[in-house]
Structure 1
Amino acid sequence: MKLYDVDGWADIPAILDYCERQGCFTIFLIGGRGTGKTYGALSYVLDTQTPFMYMRRTQAQADMVSRPEFSPFKSINDDRDIYIGSVAVSKYSAGFYHMEQDSDDKWKPVGAPLGYSCALSTISNMRGFDASNVRLLVYDEFIPERHERPIKNEAAALFNAYETINRNREMKGQKPLVMLCLSNANDLANPVFMELGLVDKVERMRQKGRSEYIDRKRGCAVILLTDSPISHAKRETALYRLTAGTQFADMALANDFTQDHPINIVSKDLKQYRPLCSVGEITIYKHKSAQEYYVSIHRSGSPRTYDATPYGCAQFRREQSWLSIAYLEGRLYFESYSCQKYLTNYLKTV
């Protein structure tokens, strides 16, 4: 698979073409900072005249990119000596247009919009919006940075956003909407990967040095730009000499997820354990002869069960509060990193 163009930037046309030939219409592309993900995606829609939706997580971010100085098209405008600007079309959305100056030297949109912008957090307010001509959803920075506020039911919000734009086009014999999700490697256990069960698959990709994961049955692809020539070239720039060896540099250059450090990830024989309780997707087991515990995605027996709802998790934390101590004492073992993340989320220890 061709990941980079002759200059070392992410080759978005080649990536999209490859994924479509594999039957994948949802693509997660994760790479270091400044590797050409957004620039390449927006260059692609211009070159191919593909109607698009450019989405950010929050309305504040979507509003910000509507300003000329923060426009995702700013570098493209400079490089091509054009001006693609943004004009509000509703309270929650703006259109991207070719702009020209009128006789008063004011910039005015010309022709139909090339695409639109929106925010994941408010797209539910746009359900009457006709996006039937949109062919590509570019969801930029889909993995939130640690300091960003979470969006309630974030993965479900993304799936609903896709439904809002895609509608029933497949029922009419049309191709489905292509969703290209772009991000830096901020958090492996992000809401979308957790919901789709991709955390452990991407962790194995990272460990084995693989750059692609294709799930043809679900029409999903994950691409990691782990060997970006641009990232290698940036190592000697001022910021990355300053931050060498930090988590920031690992994320920005090595495409290494700034995740919690996986601990006690092992494979255990469940015959040596008895089930204690289940919560959400995981079951906690106790060793039959030792004071140690194992967290697995597999459920057996008839243990006390808690729903992964706010009320169910509150019950779980109250009745199984000893698990926090066992976790901190290193007496908890996990079948996978996602099991660790599920438990810490339910216990709210992170």
Structure 2
Amino acid sequence: MNIYDKNGWLDIPKIVNTCEKNEINFIFIIGARRTGKTYGIFKHFIEDVFSKDEKVIYMRRKTTQIDSVLVDSMNPWIDINHDLHRNFYFKKVKGEKSRVSLQEINEAGEEIYYGEAFSLTSLMNNRGFSGSGFSEGIYDEFIPEKLDKRIKGEEDAFLNGVETISANRELLGEKPFRWWIVSNSNTLDSPLIHSFGLLSNLEKMKKSGQEFSMLKDRGIIIILINKSPISEKKRKTALYKALTGNTDFEKMALDNEFAYDDTSSIKSEDLRKYRLICIVGSLGIYEHKNEAKLYISDHISGTCKDSFPDSELGKSQFKFYYSWVYNYIISNRISYQNLTVKFYLDKIFNI
């Protein structure tokens, strides 16, 4: 499926149509900066959601990010307000600490209410929030940038929020809530990508250049913007002409390269040259028979003495008894079957 419109922007109306036909309720969009992701979704909200008198949720990871959109110059609706002559903005609700609403001033000067804005933590603290009347939401920039701190229990916070907003609408015969989960391509090591089990799909898509994947039985669409015509045009603009052509920022902003992910050690190895020395979770730790190097794979071949369960205790025990594995990591003497197993081991050793 071609994901771009005739002008090279992400074709959100086509994606919406595909969602409607196939009962899709989770749309993951990962891609280069300013290729029409958020803009297109906001335009869809105006044309297809607000027009039916339904409300939306706008969500970011941190409360400071929600606070920032209250500033006029940081309002994410600025561009679409300008282009469509609208006046959407976020504002704090008087008398309700931490509550932020989405409003618009209409031609008559009246304030019209269109939805709510939450951070992960504020949504977690609003378990009593009723999602009735709300039909769609956008979780913007769900993949953290390099300097952002991880939020403990991030995936659980989001999933609890989804449950809170969805309530029992499907049991009552109503349509499910639809989530647009959107980000630039900083890294694939995201709690949401892991919790939805999408890492292997994204790896395959990236490797093959595939931009669209529909997991119909799970109600999920994945869009990985790899060949944006807009990104190609942006290469000729002042900022990118001034850069070297090989910075992490350019890789993320133009090429949808996951610049924070080191894939140099991802390779397939011949297990006949290795011996299984232990298992942690579902991963096998293999030692080369003739060289001082390791291979990590989710394919288990052979037997070993030590096996540690996929639990906090099990991973701590592995880290204690096999602490020397860390030296192999930092000396680049480990190869990995894929990014999934690499991220798993990196987390055990807090890398």
Q: TM-score, normalised by structure 1?
A: 0.89
Paired AA for residue 80 in structure 1: L
Aligned CA distance change for structure 1 residues 173 and 241 (closer, same or farther; 3 Å): same
Aligned-pair Cα RMSD in Å: 2.3
Instruction: Compute the displacement of 1:330 (Å).
Output: 3.8
- Pairing of 1:37-76 with structure 2 (within 5 A): 37-48=37-48, 49=50, 50-76=54-80
Q: Percent identity?
A: 35
Task: Report what 1:253 is aligned to.
Answer: 254
Task: Report what 2:170 is aligned to.
Answer: 170
Task: Report what 2:333 is aligned to.
Answer: 331
Instruction: Compute the displacement of 1:289 (Å).
Output: 5.4
* Residues paired across the two proteins, number: 343
Task: Report what 1:343 is aligned to.
Answer: 345
Provide Cα deviations, 1:78-101, integer angstroms capped at 9, x if missing partner: 222221232334433322122159
Instruction: Compute the displacement of 1:36 (Å).
Output: 1.4
Q: Structure 1: which 5+ residue stretches go unaligned?
A: 103-107
Q: Secondary structure at the match of 1:217?
A: helix
Provide Cα deviations, 1:150-203, integer angstroms capped at 9, x if missing partner: 111212222111111111111112221111111110102222222333223212
Instruction: Compute the displacement of 1:270 (Å).
Output: 4.4
- Pairing of 1:38-117 with structure 2 (within 5 A): 38-48=38-48, 49=50, 50-89=54-93, 90-99=96-105, 110-111=111-112, 113-117=113-117
Aligned CA distance change for structure 1 residues 319 and 63 (closer, same or farther; 3 Å): same
Q: Is the 8 A contact 2:248 2:260 kept in 1?
A: no
Range 215-224 or range 87-96, more displaced: 87-96
Once superposed, which parts of structure 1, at least 4 consecutive aligned residues long, lie more than 6 Å away?
none
Residue 155 of structure 1 pairs with residue 161 of structure 2: no
Task: Report what 1:209 is aligned to.
Answer: 209
Provide Cα deviations, 1:118-155, integer angstroms capped at 9, x if missing partner: 11122111111111121111010011101101111212
Task: Report what 2:263 is aligned to.
Answer: 262
Q: Is the 8 A contact 2:277 2:286 kept in 1?
A: yes
Q: Secondary structure at the match of 1:43?
A: helix
Task: Report what 2:198 is aligned to.
Answer: 198
Provide Cα deviations, 1:262-305, integer angstroms capped at 9, x if missing partner: 23333345465443233344221234555432211234646534
Aligned CA distance change for structure 1 residues 171 and 101 (closer, same or farther; 3 Å): closer
Q: Is the 8 A contact 1:262 1:340 kept in 2?
A: no
Q: Secondary structure at the match of 1:69?
A: helix
Q: Secondary structure at the match of 1:170?
A: coil
Q: TM-score, normalised by structure 2?
A: 0.89
Instruction: Compute the displacement of 1:247 (Å).
Output: 1.4
Q: Is the 8 A contact 2:59 2:137 kept in 1?
A: yes
Q: Is the 8 A contact 2:252 2:259 kept in 1?
A: yes
Q: Secondary structure at the match of 1:275?
A: strand
Q: Structure 2: which 5+ residue stretches go unaligned?
A: none
Instruction: Compute the displacement of 1:32 (Å).
Output: 1.1
Range 157-166 or range 289-298, more displaced: 289-298
Alpha-carbon distance in structure 1 between the residues aligned to 2:312 and 2:73: 41
Task: Report what 1:293 is aligned to.
Answer: 294
Q: Is the 8 A contact 1:52 1:134 kept in 2?
A: yes
Aligned CA distance change for structure 1 residues 266 and 69 (closer, same or farther; 3 Å): closer
Task: Report what 1:275 is aligned to.
Answer: 276
Paired AA for residue 28 in structure 1: F
Q: Is the 8 A contact 2:31 2:224 kept in 1?
A: yes
Aligned CA distance change for structure 1 residues 271 and 216 (closer, same or farther; 3 Å): farther
